């Protein structure tokens, strides 16, 4: 699809804004989803005159990770481009990556008698996490002539890069996550899934052992869980694919990492929705595509906190008039996947989406929710097609064929 689109691209002065409310979709609790429960009068009013629908990030019944979910939103086939979260996290934290590297996303965790008590170490404060990570870097610099590079992240997260002396064969990152995904289980053993990954797995086992010895007396962050082992892929850049000058506005490093991988400008910013909207306003004249990411909706869904997730949606709703005041030619508001509080995690359910432009039918649904979006003119469609719809509504695609 990208090859087809590249031949149809035509440039103009239109601006496209994609707002990703991470983990937006939900399931009913006492009859209502988080979107239905929340006071979203601005989103509802906008949805009524927009094109609405539900999109499927990967495939029917498949639960997507954040990486595949966002790649699909950007028009990249998630089956063709499978990128480990380690690369995204490392790039987002400003780590330069080489072809000799394997990057890993890491959670501090609380372990007791060999069992994971808390996979996120109580979401320890970022300043506490940073100090622990700096201590690890001061004590662990090499393992078997492999350079070990740490980068502190937000809350319980950090990244590690294993830098080998020679480029590694493809498949060297095929190692099972050690995160069991649920409390009450033991960490998953380091398991290489290909012959090429055995060398990396040996280093990882020694790394976990060294880290454990250093942090075992920490009250909460006394263990680590490793996820998303990844080598750097050779992926087409966003501007080359779509003829758009892109800006990423995201507080969390993983999403900046994905944006950087695609060649987007993704400066580090702090704060929350207000600060992101302010940054959007400050930079609005300098770009023609904007990716704005709102994280905490997903976090509260994963925590099973229905009311907090609804409240975060309401917080964005209050900020929406400021965004509309910029009058983007195309505005898309959606999520990268569903994270129902009921399930305390990502799910396979289709994700609500609205697209505002002068060239939509509109007035097919009365609110922005899962049930109302099902009535919209887009119906249910693959997420990977959303970028094409945004380009078409921005007048950036020529006619195909005679």
pLDDT of residue 6: 85
Q: Is the pLDDT of residue 269 over 80?
A: yes
Any idea of the CA torsion for 77, 169, 230, 127, to the nearest 10 degrees?
-150
Q: What is the pLDDT of residues 311-360, one digit of tens each?
A: 999 999 999 999 999 999 999 999 999 999 999 999 999 999 999 999 99
pTM: 0.79
Asked whether 222 and 200 are in contact (CB, 8 A), the reply is: no
Would you state the pLDDT for residue 249? 98
Mean pLDDT, rounded, of the chain: 95
Lookup result for tokens 């929340």? 38
The pLDDT of residue 399: 94
Instruction: Give me the domains of the chain, ranges plus CATH numbers.
Output: 2-81+235-393 (3.40.720.10), 87-230 (3.30.70)
Residues 6+ away with beta carbon under 8 Å from 49? 356, 362, 363
Residue 240's nearest CA partner among 223, 264, 258, 224 is 264
φ, ψ (nearest 5 deg) of residue 261: -60, -35
DSSP letters along 131-154, please?
HHHHHHHHH--EETTEEEEEEE-S
Q: Report the share of the chain in percent with pLDDT over 90.
A: 87
pLDDT band for position 257 (cuts 50, 70, 90): confident
Give the pLDDT of residue 402.
77
Q: Provide the pLDDT for residue 302.
A: 95
> Residue 216 CB: number of other CB atoms within 10 A?
10
Six token digits for residue 202: 């040996």
In tens, the pLDDT along 271-294 reads 999 999 999 999 999 999 999 999
Pairing between β-strand 101-112 and β-strand 157-163 as defined by DSSP bridges = antiparallel
Secondary structure class of 201 (helix, strand, coil): helix
Res 234 pLDDT > 90? no
- Give the mean model confidence (pLDDT) for residues 113-142: 95
Q: 55-80: buried (b, 16+ CB within 10 Å) or exposed (e) per residue?
A: bbbbeeeebbbbbbbbbbbbbbebee
CA gap 96, 250 in Å, rounded: 19
Per-residue pLDDT at 99 = 84
pLDDT digits (tens, 9 = 90+) for 184-224: 999 999 999 999 999 999 999 999 999 999 999 999 999 99
Of 26-40, 89-103, 122-136, 381-395, least confident by mean pLDDT is 89-103
> CA angle, corner 401, sides to 399 and 402, nearest 5?
100
DSSP string, 328-386: -SEEEEE-SSB--TTTTS-BSS-EEEEEE-TT----S-SSSSHHHHTTSTTEEEEGGGH
> Which range among 176-185, 232-241, 370-379 shows the weakest confidence by mean pLDDT?
232-241
Predicted local confidence at residue 297, as pLDDT: 97
How far apart are the C-alpha atoms of 74 and 238, rounded to whole Å?
A: 8
Structure tokens at 298: 């997903």
């Amino acid at each position: 699809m990208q090859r087809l689109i590249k031949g149809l691209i035509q440039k103009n002065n239109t601006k496209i804004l994609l707002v990703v409310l991470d983990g937006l979709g939900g399931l009913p609790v006492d009859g209502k989803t988080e979107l239905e429960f929340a006071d979203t009068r601005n989103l509802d009013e906008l949805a009524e005159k927009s094109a609405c629908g539900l999109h499927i990030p990967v495939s029917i019944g498949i639960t997507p990770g954040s990486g595949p979910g966002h790649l699909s939103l950007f028009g990249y086939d998630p089956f063709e481009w499978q990128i480990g979260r380690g690369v995204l996290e490392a790039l987002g934290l400003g780590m330069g990556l080489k072809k000799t590297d394997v990057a890993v996303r890491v959670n501090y965790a609380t372990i007791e008698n060999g069992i994971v008590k808390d996979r996120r170490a109580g979401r320890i404060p970022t300043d506490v996490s940073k100090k622990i990570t700096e201590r690890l870097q001061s004590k662990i610099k090499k393992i078997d002539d492999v350079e070990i590079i740490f980068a502190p992240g937000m809350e319980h997260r950090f990244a590690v890069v294993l830098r080998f002396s020679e480029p590694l064969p493809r498949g060297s990152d095929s190692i099972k996550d050690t995160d069991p995904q649920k409390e009450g289980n033991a960490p998953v053993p380091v398991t290489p899934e290909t012959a090429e990954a055995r060398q990396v797995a040996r280093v990882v086992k020694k790394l976990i052992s060294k880290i454990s010895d250093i942090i075992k007396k920490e009250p909460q962050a006394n263990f680590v869980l490793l996820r998303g082992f990844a080598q750097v892929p050779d992926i087409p850049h966003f501007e080359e694919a779509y003829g758009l000058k892109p800006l990423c506005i995201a507080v969390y490093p993983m999403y900046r990492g994905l944006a950087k991988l695609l060649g987007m400008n993704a400066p580090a910013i702090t704060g929350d929705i207000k600060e992101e909207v302010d940054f959007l306003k400050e930079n609005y004249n300098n770009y023609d595509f904007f990716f704005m990411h709102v994280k905490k909706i997903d976090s509260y869904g994963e925590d099973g906190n229905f009311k907090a997730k609804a409240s975060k949606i309401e917080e964005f709703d209050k900020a929406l008039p400021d965004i509309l005041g910029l009058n983007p030619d195309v505005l898309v508001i959606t999520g990268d996947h569903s994270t129902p509080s009921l399930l305390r995690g990502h799910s396979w359910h289709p994700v609500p989406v609205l697209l505002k432009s002068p060239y939509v039918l509109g007035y097919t649904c009365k609110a922005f929710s899962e049930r109302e979006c099902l009535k919209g003119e887009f119906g249910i469609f693959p997420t990977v097609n959303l970028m094409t719809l945004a380009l078409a509504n921005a007048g950036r695609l020529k006619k195909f064929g005679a």
